[in-house]
Structure formats: C-alpha cells, structure tokens
Structure 1
Amino acid sequence: MSLTHGITLGWFSPTLPLLKCENSPVGRLDISELMWIGAMFGFGSLLCNMIICFPLAFFGLKKCMYFVPIPNMIHWILIYFATKSVYLHMARLLLGISGGTMMVTFPIFVAEVSDNNVRGTLTSFFMLTLCSGLTVGFVLVHYISYHVLPCIVIVLPILFFCLLIPFPEPPQDLLKRGRDEKAAKSFYFYKNLSKDPTQQNENQAEFIVYRDKVLGGGIKDKVTFSDFYNKESGKAFALIIVLLVCNQMSGSFAIYNYASSIFTRLGSRMDPNMCSIYLGVVQLFGLSSAVVLVDRVGRRWLLMPSLAVMGLAELGVGLLKSFASQDFLIHHGWVGLTLMCIVAYSSSSGLVALTFVIIVELLPFRIRAPGISLSMCGLSLSVFMALMTYPAMLSHHGLHILMFMSASFCLLGLIVLGIFLPETKGKSLTH
C-alpha cells in the first residue's frame, strides 16, 4: 500500500505541465489553483490525524488499516472522471486521508510486530517502498496517458486489501482489549515460533514474559492528561516538533511534488520530467542505504550527516541559481542535477527514512498510539505549510531564496537535534 501511495503522490509533479496547458483535461489551471490542489493533501492528512486515535481505540489497528485503500481508490476514480478542478481538490483531499491513516497505523503495526533489532530496518523499508512508488509514479506519467494510468494503479489498493486479510491483529492491540488467547496466537505468528508440541511450554513462557511487560506498562489504564504533561513526554514532543518541521520545510517531500518546476527554473536543456525520474532513482539508493545501516550504526549517526549534507547541497543550488549565468545553466545542467541528487540522497538516507522510527521510539509506551496520532497532525500541518510555501516562494521569490530557506531549516535541525536527540537504537517498546 505504501508503494501505491507513493505512485499516487508521484503522479502530481510530472502532471503539472499538462494541467497548466490549454488542452488540460480539467481546463487550464493557474498557479494559485495548483497551489491549493497540492496543499489539499496536507489538509486531508491533518483532518484524518485529528480523529484517527478514536477509531484506533474503538475498532483496533487492523480494521483501521482496512480503511487505507478506500480513499486511494476513490482518488483515482475522481482523476479519471475529472472535468473541473474541484475533482482534483477532492482527489488530493482523499489522498491525504488515506495517507494520514497509513502514516499512523503502519508504523505502529511495524513497531508492535517486529523485534527490536530489525524495527528500524522494517520502518525504513516502509519508507523505501513509499518513495519507490514516487519514482514509479514519475516514470508511469512519462509513458502512460492521463486516463489509462488510473485504470492500472487502482488494482494495487484492491490487492493490498486482499493480502491484509490473513494477518492477525498485533498482540499488543489484542492484549489491550483483554483478548489474551488471540494475543498469544498473534504473538506466535509474528515471532514465527514453532508449532511443535514439545516447544509449547517454552513458547507459552515467552508469551507470558511478553504479556507481563506489556500489561506492566499500563496499556489497559486510561490515558490521562498527566501522561502528556510530564518531563519525559514534553521532551519527546518538543524533539518531534523540531524533527517534523525540519523534515518538511527542508524540502524532503515538497521538492518531489514540484521537481519538474524546480528543474525548469534551473534552466537546463535536459527534460525536467526526466530529471525528476533521476531524482527519484537516487532517492531509492539513499533509502536502501538507510535500510542497511539504520540498525547497525544507529539513528543519530545517520540523521546528523543527512541534515548537514542536505543543507550544504541546497545552499549550493541557491548559490548556483544566484551567481551562474543563464548560458552556464543551459550548457552545464548536470551541475544543478548533481546538487539536487545529493539533496535527494542525503535526505532519504537519514531524515526521510528515520523520522517515523524516531517518533515511535521517542514516545513513552503508554501514550504511543495517541502520541503518534498527534505527531502525524504535526506532520500534516508541516506538509500543508511546505506545499503552500514552496510554489509561492518559487513563483514570487525565485528558486535561490527557496533553497536558502530550505538549507536554514536543515541547519536548525542539525543544531537542535544534534544537541538534544538521544540515541534510541535497540530501545524496548514494551515499557
């Protein structure tokens, strides 16, 4: 499903030139309309994140995961039948709702069913598949027509829905509801414990230890405001706010939404859409590096260099646009492309891959689910802010100012997180 979401996000950037043309299927759109269409994703995600903790508590994690593909499918139906810009507004809003649900439920699911020594790898792999979808989306738009693509992609969320059915609910979720027998079966399934009768007592003993740890953390107790307003929670939320703002305002997501426009402003003779594809491919290499390294070298050793290199590369793009002549930009387009690829690699190898891992590991056990929901509200606000800011800055102030702003947020994150963020590698999530 993360691959599907990535494809749906990747569809937007290379489709922008078509939407601005006279022969646009929804009529020619100006920059203000496109800005709002792009930002509706963040609004939809925020709307979902504000209320997702209630269905999570009432229905459980797996049932909420069943909801994820439904808005995505409706999104593609609206794209196919769109005749006015309002269809695109609604489509992006629904995409935000789907993505908002996914960004809360999937990291919790991975955290609850994985061992401590592979949790970072699996969460990074989730981001790898999402960003792979971005690249696939860039490529598909380049080769497949506007009305054919929805008919192909809509199959993927249906496939996800079917594949999810055999998986049991996470054991922590079941223990919270007092379903100990089902929780035991779920624990054995996800731990891949042997069904050999001779191992039954050993497996049961392991589950009892796990159950006591979970219940000892107060998972059944009602969460109160005092659980949020204490030193540990306050520090966690403060670091998460800095992490999320720096994540989005540094351009780690917005750059891909407006990649074609950015490469057009760089003035290269290379096709902007092809440059966007190169950017997506490089991003995948960065995420692959994170998947390999995150549980070996730790979170801080990936995050800090990521912010530093990303900020320097964005500063380089800003200086290039400020001081290079138009003739230089035309004949040396590879310079701008290389700098943007460094931005893509460095952001994806640390900042993008680790954000969800760090959020899950920073939050105290008792408030993890509502804390992730609140964190995703912050992420949605940051996404909305970035998607509104980037096209406006690009249009009214130029690419160089936009890149200087993005680099400054990298510097902010490097200083604050470098000083205060603890290493969370191998941290137990059951207390």
Structure 2
Amino acid sequence: MSKQLRTSLLTPKIRYQLLATVIVNIITFGHGVGVGWLSPTLTKIQGDDSPLSFQVTIDEISWLGSMLGLGSLCGNLTIAFLLERMGRKFCIYLLAIPYACLWILIYCASSVGFLYAARFLCGFTGGAGYLVVPIYISEVANSRLVAAQITIKHNSIDLLISIRGALTSMVMLSVNLGILVGYILSTYLAYHVVPFLAIILPITYFTANLLLPETAPYLLKQRHLLAAEASFKYYQNQRVDFEADSKEDFEQLRLAVDAQEASNSTALTYKDLLTKPALKAFAAASILSLGYQLSGIFSFINYMSDIFKASGALFDVNTCTIIIGVVQIVGVYTSTIFVDIVGRRILMLVSTLGVGLGCIAFGFFTYSAQIYDLSHLNWLPLVLMIVIIYVGNVGLIGIFFVVLVEVFPAKIRSVATSISVVFLSVLVFATLKLFPLLLHYFGISVTMWFSASASLLTFVYFLLFLPETKGKSMVAD
C-alpha cells in the first residue's frame, strides 16, 4: 500500500507562517552552532598544539561550559523585561547583536576570558531566543485546523491538522541542526576559520527579518487594529481581501484578545501566580526543566567528545560526536511530525522513560568494562548514546518549549514563561558547571546513573500529573 502525504506545512495559506518560522530560527540555528562549537574545540585547546596562546584546565573547562547558563539567565531577564514593552519584533532584532559579538571574541581570543565572554553571549542569545521565538511562532501560527490530504491507492482522504506544535517544535530542530554544523565546522576547520563563516548568520538573520511584521495578537493588545489586520492577512497569505473563514478567525482572535485584556484590566499581581491552575502549571514547568537538565541530555551535547573518550568507544570521538549530531536532528524531526498527531504528553513519557533506561544501560556497560574485558563490545557506547539522544530529542528536547509555553494560563503566560526560563537557565549553569567535575571525579558510570534516576523520576511525575496541551488556545484559557 503506497501512501503519499501532502503535508499541511506546504499549503499556500500558511506559506508565510512557515517562512517566518524559518527566518526567526536562523538565530536558534546560530545558537546551536555556538553550542556545538565547544565540544570538538575543547580537544584542540587542551593539547600542546593548541591554536591559541594558552591552554585550559579542567576547572576552566567547567566554567566554559557553565557560562552558557549564566548568559542564558541574563538573556531571559532582558527579554522578559522588553517582550511586552517593545514587542516581539524588536526583541527578535535585538538577538543579532550578541550573536555577532561572540564570534568576534572567539576569533580575537588571547586569554580564556575571551572564551568565557563568547560562551556568555552564546547563552544570552539562546536564553533570549528560547523565550521570544516560541511565543512569536505560536502567535503567527494558524489557530484553525489546516487541511491536509493523504492519498492511499489514488483515494484521497482529507484531514484537519493543527500546525502550531509542528512550527514551534522547529525551534529545537534548528538548534540541533546548528549543533551538528558546529560539531562539523570545529572538527574539520581551523580554529580561526569558523568565526569567519559563522558571522554570516547574524547578518542574514537581521536582513531577513525586515520582511516580517509584528504579530497580530501583540498589535491587538496595543490597540493597533489596522496593523493587526494587515499582519494577520500577511501570515494568512491574503494580500488583498479576507476570505470568509480568515475574517472569522481574525474576529475571533480580536474578541479573544479583548476578553483577555478585559480580564487583565487590573495589573498582574503575585496572587495571579498563586491560583490553583497557575501553581499546577508551575509545578509541571519546574519538573519539566529539572528533568531536562538533570537527565543530562543537554550536558551530553556540550561534552559529547569527553563522554566518548571516558567510555572507551571504538571510533574517533569527534566522529562519534558528529553522528550524535545527526541523531539529534532525526529525533527532533520525529517530534515535529508526531507532536500534533499523538500529542505532547505521550512524546514526553516515551522520551523520559527511554533516556532513563538508556543511561542505566550505558552506566552498567562502562562499570562492567572496568572489571571485564569488553573490548569486543566497544561499539556499544555509541549505539547506546544514539538511543539516549534520539529518545531525548523526541520529547525532552524537541517539544520542551512547546509544552513550556502551552502549559500556563493565558493571563500569566508571558510572566510565567519568563520565570520558568530563568529557572531553566540557573539549572543550565549548575549542570554544565558540575557535569565535567562529576565526570572527572566520580566517573562515567556514576554520572550516567544519576542522569537515569532524574529521568525516571520525571517519567513518573509526567505519567501521573502532566496535562495534555495539544489544541490549547494561546489567547484564552
């Protein structure tokens, strides 16, 4: 039986929504390049043949990793302050500046302080981007179910598919694609060549964003009705007249925003953050962030070469790292396909359970390898890490920001998302600082078992308490 899927992402009505998603994700791709750059570069700058005039110690390596989290924290706070005051478009433009500066610092590095600053700016770009980009995409994504068509033996079956989850999950898809490119560039190119290529990204990003208008929901909040209508028509790919269903969608959006603004007529207070729905959402977001970071998935990505070196893998560590980069993309692409079909909750459950079991197996292999001769199985660390990274990207990484944005009530969404991303950044700083020290002083097996415990505890919480957010409105509860 032959099946042909004409995906809803290619229908003319949402062409400009897809274009906008691609354009704003240039910066998340660039952030991924900055993240992926570190792992192979560490092996270069620790040796005697370092391309720099200095070498780094294990303590400096841990600071290099953790500076990403510190920068992310500052990026979160900056964008949280500007997001509602200056708008989504201004914040998106702003990201080009720190990203361009980080590659200038890397090229000019004459001491480890330059690299600290560069990693800080990489984190700033990511922390700010992780906050504004998902919100921007969720506000331009089509709120109505979009027509798709499956052809089975020449018989067409029409379907209605929501595309908001698919578009929003492209954030992590582009980050992972960037990480892969960062792995490849820093592995095969000279240290000072990479910044020359990477500096093209912020220039392209800034220029391409000139095409995009501000989002309609934000413009409606600012009472710019004509601009909001023009924005809505742009993202619906209707330059002249409104189609009947699109006009109805815009009117529903306007009414929903008006209702939300009416309910927000009084200033947001701490009591709004202490309601039962808000506290349940904060609990889910906190466990989501803790599971993401304590499971070790993000630390694995940053220190992948060191992990393979510690595990005694058969292949060249940088080659293994590049393979893992490809697996990340496949994993996030899988989540992009299924996020609006099976829902967010199922993917999160599969992901946390898979990571937990994979890390247990990885830990037992490396522990047994210290006692027995398992050289005939030294391909197994790569296979196990492929499984861990794949299932991690299907849920924990791939749809992390989709769930984070959707889980909160509309009234507190911006503030609560900002608070949650700040908390995530603190966790990023802590885990990236501690991971290389844990690996160095306690060994790979204990490190993996710790990650497994965190992932399995997250699985239990999600199984019992995580709500399904597929189809939830972005402007009304």
Query: Is TM > 0.5 for Structure 1 vs Structure 2?
Result: yes
Residues 35 and 388, structure 1, Cα contact 8 Å, conserved in 2? yes
Partner SS, residue 295 of structure 1: coil
Shift in Å at residue 354 of structure 1?
1.4
One-letter amino acid matched to 1:391: P
Shift in Å at residue 206 of structure 1?
3.6
Q: Work out which of the residue numbers 91, 97, 109 in structure 1 matches 2:124.
A: 97
Q: Work out which of the residue numbers 128, 135, 156 in structure 1 matches 2:180.
A: 135
Question: Per-residue CA shift, 1:38-73, capped at 9, x if unaligned?
Answer: 101101111221232221122111101101121111
In the TM superposition, what are the counterparts of 1:321-336 in structure 2 within 5 Å? 321-325=366-370, 328-336=373-381
One-letter amino acid matched to 2:38: F
Q: Work out which of the residue numbers 309, 323, 337 in structure 2 matches 1:292.
A: 337
Partner SS, residue 472 of structure 2: coil
Residues 363 and 371, structure 1, Cα contact 8 Å, conserved in 2? yes
User: In the alignment, does 2:235 pair up with 1:209?
Assistant: no
**Cα distance in 2 for residues equivalent to 1:397 and 1:430:** 48
Q: What's the counterpart of residue 299 of structure 2? A: 254
**Cα distance in 2 for residues equivalent to 1:79 and 1:87:** 7
Q: Which runs of 5+ in 1 are unaligned?
A: none
Segment drifting more, 184-193 vs 64-73: 184-193
User: In the alignment, does 2:435 pair up with 1:390?
Assistant: yes
Partner SS, residue 296 of structure 1: coil
User: In the alignment, does 2:38 pair up with 1:12?
Assistant: yes
Shift in Å at residue 269 of structure 1?
3.5
Residues 70 and 429, structure 2, Cα contact 8 Å, conserved in 1? yes
One-letter amino acid matched to 2:250: F
Shift in Å at residue 21 of structure 1?
1.4
In the TM superposition, what are the counterparts of 1:42-53 in structure 2 within 5 Å? 42-53=69-80
Using a 3 Å threshold, how does the CA distance of structure 1 residues 202 and 301 change in structure 2: closer, same or farther?
A: closer
Question: Per-residue CA shift, 1:17-50, capped at 9, x if unaligned?
Answer: 1121123204111000110111011011112212
Using a 3 Å threshold, how does the CA distance of structure 1 residues 429 and 396 change in structure 2: closer, same or farther?
A: same
**Cα distance in 2 for residues equivalent to 1:205 and 1:427:** 19
User: In the alignment, does 2:207 pair up with 1:162?
Assistant: yes
Using a 3 Å threshold, how does the CA distance of structure 1 residues 203 and 279 change in structure 2: closer, same or farther?
A: closer
Residues 217 and 253, structure 2, Cα contact 8 Å, conserved in 1? no
Q: What's the counterpart of residue 80 of structure 1? A: 107
Using a 3 Å threshold, how does the CA distance of structure 1 residues 310 and 127 change in structure 2: closer, same or farther?
A: same
User: In the alignment, does 2:281 pair up with 1:236?
Assistant: yes
Q: Which runs of 5+ in 2 are unaligned?
A: 1-26, 144-161
**Cα distance in 2 for residues equivalent to 1:53 and 1:234:** 20
Q: What's the counterpart of residue 347 of structure 1? A: 392
Residues 406 and 469, structure 2, Cα contact 8 Å, conserved in 1? yes
Q: CA RMSD in A?
A: 1.6
Residues 268 and 329, structure 1, Cα contact 8 Å, conserved in 2? no
Shift in Å at residue 180 of structure 1?
1.2
**Cα distance in 2 for residues equivalent to 1:399 and 1:260:** 13
Q: What's the counterpart of residue 22 of structure 1? A: 48
Q: Percent identity?
A: 37
Structure number with higher helix proportion: 1
**Cα distance in 1 for residues equivalent to 2:314 and 2:387:** 20
One-letter amino acid matched to 1:184: E
Question: Per-residue CA shift, 1:324-347, capped at 9, x if unaligned?
Answer: 247745442211110010001000
Shift in Å at residue 280 of structure 1?
1.0
Q: What's the counterpart of residue 462 of structure 2? A: 417
One-letter amino acid matched to 1:77: I
Residues 69 and 425, structure 2, Cα contact 8 Å, conserved in 1? yes
User: In the alignment, does 2:104 pair up with 1:61?
Assistant: no
Q: What's the counterpart of residue 409 of structure 2? A: 364
Segment drifting more, 309-318 vs 330-339: 330-339
One-letter amino acid matched to 2:390: Y
Q: Work out which of the residue numbers 137, 147, 160 in structure 1 matches 2:192.
A: 147
